[in-house]
Structure 1
Amino acid sequence: MNKKKLVSLLLALAMVFALAACGGDTQGNQESQTPSTSSPSGENNASSGDAKVAVFYYNYADTYIASVRTALDAALDAAGVTYQDFDGNNNQTTQNEAIDTALADNYNILVVNMVTTGSSDTAKAILDKAAAKGAKVIFFNRAIEEDGAEGSVLGADTYKDMVSFVGTDAPEAGHLQGQMIGEYLLENYDTVDLNGDGVISYAMFKGDEANVEAIYRTQYGVEDANKVLTEAGKPEMAYFDPASSSGYQVDMGGAWSSAAALEYMTTNLAQYNETNGNMIELVICNNDNMAEGAISALQAAGYNTGAEGSKTIPVFGVDATDSAQALIAQGVMTGTVKQDAEGMANAICEMVTSTAAGTSMADAAAAIASSNEIYTVAEGIDNKLYVAYAPFTGK
């Protein structure tokens, strides 16, 4: 074995042990745990080095983010890392002020779930503040660069040695959801086609107009489903409202909320229903929160109750939250795409401990990717780590 291969092997082995310290199972079971706001008092152990970590969440109220927070708190506690959580409350100004406070208090590793997603200017402003204090930054979950500008921040010479990203490959969830929907429709076409016109009428709920994840989920959730249908000789799906130019309804607050989907769907069903012969026959949602809101509206109209003989409108989401998994088990939700909260948390924890120990961001990402197949390094951006999505139907 040559020297280069030996070094790579040793790094990978080191990460396996470190990932175990950061939570062990990286498959993400999403069981609920009681979150803590800081680690137990006392000195850090050897795995945490001199890390003093501030974790900034875009919004505690987001169900998926709450799952990541629970898992990351547990992982950092297990690794003996001193940390503090901060809630951005879906407001970038609030998050910026919290970052200023943390840096003034000498936190030296910032773990940031940015409120203003896909904004290189916002990311650079955070990095400049951190650089002035000698702190490192680990962004996670929400894109920090504009679509098509990947690497403009993460690969910039000014920042690349002090920054990394742990998240997902944005188009993947949309592709998986679209494939899942298309296959489900082929298996259940006549049942789903309530008015028997041969075309499936669908509603689409988009979480945030500018969020790259929402953009790709909205696009590919429909495009890929249509591809499955047309390849099998079926017509493409039709958006329920023929007057709509966008083909979706967006949460205007950017919160991906169940309340927004509930309000939209309740209004939709007043006009688009079986009595009028134009019932919405399929619901596609960018996340499970919005799926739950749509299901609540359907249940109020007598659908998706789980009762024997009642009609169920297929509803698909993304995240595989505990509540969504329960709804799928009850037969009132059809499927979702798992975004691995525990897998993301463990990767962040390992990035924290490796960074604290002096490992470069790129080497840490490479070793994490070598340790488990759910992780990959983005092509051409060696400090960007992806956590894989997976389809979930409860079967």
Structure 2
Amino acid sequence: MKKVLSFLLSCTMLVCMATVLTGCGGSDDGDVHVFYYNYSDTYISSVRSALGKQLSDAGVKYQDYDANGNQTTQTEQVQTAITKGAKALVVNIVNTGSDDAAQGIVDMAKKENIPLIFFNREVSDKIVKGYDKCAFVGTDAAEAGHLQGEMIGEYLLANYDSFDLNKDGSISYIMFKGEEGNNEAIYRTQYAVEDANKKLVAAGKPALTFYDASNNDKYLVDQQGKWSAQAANEYMTTALASYSDSNNNMIELVICNNDGMAEGAITALNSVGYNTSGDKVIPVFGVDATDAAKDLIKKNKMAGTIKQDAEGMAKAIALLAQNALDDKDLMDGTDSYNKDKKVNKIRIAYGKYLGE
């Protein structure tokens, strides 16, 4: 009997030690299970950090999962969490090109009556409306593109001639899209150029021209769907081998749909003497206002970015998660947020960032 009691005591001590070492975020039996499409995404990393703090400060046990860009992995992770007894699911969906993946997760949550919160990577209104315990926290996908386009147009017009390097009267640009089938990437690609052109044309300047006339898409996309600095760096390095000062056709503007790709493009520009500490500068624009991007702007290596509020998004997600745990309506206490009128969707506002 003494041996049994001693064994049980040892087990209890090990469990306690594990709890101290792992904290809320490492708990295998967390009440809130959070599924990220990819930990390596810079913006998502910021959301993860902010959300972890919000949940920990509220005393909520949670567990994070990294799908590493694989929808099958994420779907299996959700099923595992449900089996563990998850009380709330928070999902940054991997596949956004169709409703199939999101619908599969909704079906699993609905079957077990578990509240489900999608965030950042938008799911359709139909998906959210299909389950009364489902909501979405994100942004207005088009807003970032509109703001970036306005910012680019205003920036170029402030000193147009200095950006027209080959003095042909127009500005040539390169565009890094990020991911095919993603609404944020689609709208940013479209409106960043369209709205910049509106500003330019209204001021009597020609519209922007894509640097490569043979590219009918007028963008370059990360084939891995990761919006990565590496992909942008490789594309930019290749482009600069043909489009350069020596050929009198230097790319004169870089537009990136996130700050990670902007970093990669800037590294490539640095390698040919641009955007260092000298006077040779190509304006580079991104989206997210990451700390790295803010530092690049401060150093005059990057022109501007669009702030995507990671802390604001995390705060809204945490509120909905707490509502789920308290068995309240998911949207309880959200009147101060910008919400869609006909569906449970909260929109976190973007903002222009040109430095502090």
- The equivalent residue for 1:225 is 196
- The equivalent residue for 2:236 is 265
Report the secondary structure of 2:136's partner residue. Answer: strand
1:79, 1:132 → 2: CA distance? Answer: 28
1:275, 1:78 → 2: CA distance? Answer: 57
- The equivalent residue for 2:205 is 234
Q: How does 1:192-231 map to 2 (within 5 A)?
A: 192-231=163-202
Query: One-letter code of the match for 1:315?
Result: V
- The equivalent residue for 2:61 is 82
> Is residue 256–residue 286 contact of structure 2 (8 Å, CA) maintained in 1?
yes
1:41, 1:295 → 2: CA distance? Answer: 36
- 1:152 Cα deviation from its structure 2 partner: 1.2
Q: Deviations over 1:188-242 (max 9, x none)?
A: 1011000111100000001001100000000000000000001111110100011
> Is residue 38–residue 85 contact of structure 1 (8 Å, CA) maintained in 2?
no
1:37, 1:125 → 2: CA distance? Answer: 31
Q: How does 1:162-311 map to 2 (within 5 A)?
A: 162-307=133-278, 310-311=279-280
Q: 1:126 to 1:192 in 2, by over 3 A?
A: same
Q: 1:41 to 1:66 in 2, by over 3 A?
A: closer
Query: One-letter code of the match for 2:334?
Result: I
Query: One-letter code of the match for 1:70?
Result: S
- The equivalent residue for 1:377 is 339
Aligned partner (choices 302, 310, 317) of residue 341 of structure 1: 310
Unaligned runs of 5+ in 2: 1-20
1:247, 1:318 → 2: CA distance? Answer: 19
- 1:379 Cα deviation from its structure 2 partner: 3.5
Task: Report the count of equivalent residues.
Answer: 335
Q: Deviations over 1:71-126 (max 9, x none)?
A: 00000001111110000111011111111111110002000000112431211110
TM-score (norm 2): 0.91
- The equivalent residue for 2:293 is 324
> Is residue 255–residue 286 contact of structure 2 (8 Å, CA) maintained in 1?
yes
- 1:38 Cα deviation from its structure 2 partner: 5.1
- The equivalent residue for 1:48 is none
> Is residue 26–residue 63 contact of structure 2 (8 Å, CA) maintained in 1?
no
> Is residue 260–residue 293 contact of structure 1 (8 Å, CA) maintained in 2?
yes
- RMSD between aligned residues: 1.7
1:90, 1:369 → 2: CA distance? Answer: 33
- The equivalent residue for 1:142 is 121
Larger Rg: 2
TM-score (norm 1): 0.82
- The equivalent residue for 1:6 is none
- The equivalent residue for 1:152 is 126
Query: One-letter code of the match for 1:314?
Result: P
1:80, 1:255 → 2: CA distance? Answer: 33
- The equivalent residue for 2:86 is 107
> Is residue 26–residue 62 contact of structure 2 (8 Å, CA) maintained in 1?
no
Unaligned runs of 5+ in 1: 1-35, 43-50, 146-150
1:39 pairs with 2:24: yes
Report the secondary structure of 1:177's partner residue. Answer: helix
Query: One-letter code of the match for 1:81?
Result: V
2:267, 2:154 → 1: CA distance? Answer: 25
1:241, 1:280 → 2: CA distance? Answer: 9
- 1:368 Cα deviation from its structure 2 partner: 2.3
Q: Deviations over 1:263-322 (max 9, x none)?
A: 000000110111111100000000000000000000001100123xx3010000000001
Tell me: higher relative CO, structure 1 or 2? Use CA pairs within 8 A at least 6 residues apart: 1
Query: One-letter code of the match for 1:320?
Result: A
Report the secondary structure of 1:56's partner residue. Answer: strand
Identity of counterpart residues, as a percentage?
Answer: 55
Query: One-letter code of the match for 1:392?
Result: Y
- 1:40 Cα deviation from its structure 2 partner: 7.2
> Is residue 114–residue 139 contact of structure 1 (8 Å, CA) maintained in 2?
yes
Report the secondary structure of 1:165's partner residue. Answer: strand
> Is residue 25–residue 63 contact of structure 2 (8 Å, CA) maintained in 1?
no
> Is residue 258–residue 291 contact of structure 1 (8 Å, CA) maintained in 2?
yes
